[in-house]
Amino acid sequence: MADNWTLASTFTSGRSRPFFILLVFVSSRHAGRRRRPGAPRSGRDDGGGLSKRIARATVRCRSDRSASWRRVPAGRDAMDATNTVGGGGVRVSAGDYGLLVMLMLMNVLNFVDRQLLSSFANFIVPDLGLSNGQFGLLTGLVFLVFYAVAGLFMGALADLVHRPRLIAGAMFVWSALTAASGLARGFLSLALPRVFIGIGESALTPTAMSLLADRFPPEKRGFASGFYYIGVPLGVGVSLLVAGVLGPKLGWRNCFLLLGAIGVVFSFAILAVRETRPSR
């Protein structure tokens, strides 16, 4: 019986160990009761055959458990499982890096347009006769409330529709309304475009993150996210640069029209990106 206990401890581990220990214990006691006192142990009663069967069953159990761990799920998780279980990373194509650069540039334009109003404050406030409270609403509450509320739904929408088209449509809307802001004559004519600029811009980041997650393996998603978010400081800096360099020469209205037109043209570029949503 001691030999059986030793073999069971050697060949079993984890959740299977209590089952095999109990099996050896019961079998050994049963064999002990059937053996006559003083009779020598036969080859059949020494537990050798039982121990071998336990060992073979343990190997099969481990093999089945390993196979279940290696089972690759469907959908987006299949790529993750291939990376972690297979031991090799998924190759990222040049087209995927091209998409990353395109999305980063769109994020730059996103923050350029978002920051333009603040960057041109010294031009816009006296031209439109805005009070400090009105200008604060334009740069804060009017934009941020609709941006935040719409952002709650844009991530879910990105899971349902064609993502490149969603980005293209959103960028077209916010860029066209940025250009329309250059035609504003007062507070209301500037506030209304800001509402829909906020709604349009809220679609970019959740949709971009969804696209990048499908095209970059887990070990490279940190790099992809960091590269995409470079667009935030770049966009703010470019907006201030435009206000300082082009503002005195072109005027704030023409700068709004120019940057809005650039965004409208650029919005069509992402339509060339093929939707590669994995099956779920």
Q: Where in the chain is the domain with CATH 1.20.1250.20?
A: 94-272
Q: Supply the pLDDT for residue 53.
A: 62
Confidence of residue 36 (pLDDT cuts 50, 70, 90): low
Cα–Cα dist 226/144, whole Å: 23
- The set of residues, in sequence order, having a beta carbon less than 8 Å from that of 249 and lying 6+ positions away, is none
Q: Supply the pLDDT for residue 130.
A: 95
Written as six digits, the tokens of 57 are: 């069953």
User: Is the Cβ–Cβ distance between 154 and 202 less than 8 Å?
Assistant: yes
Per the listing, tokens 């769109």 go with: 106
Give a three-class secondary structure readout of the chain. Answer: CHHHHHHHHHHCCHHHHHHHHHHHHHHHHHHHHHCCCCCCCCCCCCCHHHHHHHHHHHHHHHHHHHHHHCCCCCCHHHHHHHHHHHCCCCCCCHHHHHHHHHHHHHHHHHHHHHHHHHHCHHHHHHHHCCCHHHHHHHHCHHHHHHHHHHHHHHHHHHCCCCHHHHHHHHHHHHHHHHHHHCCCCCHHHHHHHHHHHHHHHCCHHHHHHHHHHHHCCHHHHHHHHHHHHCHHHHHHHHHHHHHHHCHHHHCHHHHHHHHHHHHHHHHCHHHHCCCCCCCC
- The share of the chain scoring above pLDDT 70, in percent, equals 67
Task: Report residue 192 CA to chain centroid gap.
Answer: 32
Mean local confidence (pLDDT), 173-184: 96
Q: Supply the pLDDT for residue 54.
A: 59
Neighbours of 28 (CB within 10 A): 18
Query: ∠ at Cα 28 (26, 31), nearest 5°?
Result: 110
**Given a cut of 70, is residue 263 above it in pLDDT?**
yes
Which tops the pLDDT comparison, 221 or 35? Answer: 221
Query: pTM for the whole thing?
Result: 0.67
- The CATH number given to 94-272 is 1.20.1250.20
Mean local confidence (pLDDT), 196-224: 95
Helix axes 231-245, 94-119, angle to 10 degrees: 50
**Given a cut of 60, is residue 73 above it in pLDDT?**
no
Q: What is the pLDDT of residues 117-176, one digit of tens each?
A: 999 999 999 999 999 999 999 999 999 999 999 999 998 999 999 999 999 999 999 999
Q: Supply the pLDDT for residue 22.
A: 44
Mean local confidence (pLDDT), 21-37: 48
User: Is the Cβ–Cβ distance between 55 and 11 less than 8 Å?
Assistant: yes
Q: Sign of the CA dihedral 78, 79, 80, 83? A: positive
Q: Supply the pLDDT for residue 253.
A: 97
Q: Supply the pLDDT for residue 37.
A: 52
3-7, 28-32, 61-65, 169-173: range with highest mean pLDDT: 169-173
- The set of residues, in sequence order, having a beta carbon less than 8 Å from that of 43 and lying 6+ positions away, is none
Q: What is the pLDDT of residues 225-261, one digit of tens each?
A: 999 999 999 999 999 999 999 999 999 999 999 999 9
Q: What is the pLDDT of residues 5-20, one digit of tens each?
A: 444 444 444 444 444 4
Q: Supply the pLDDT for residue 91.
A: 81
Q: Supply the pLDDT for residue 276.
A: 81
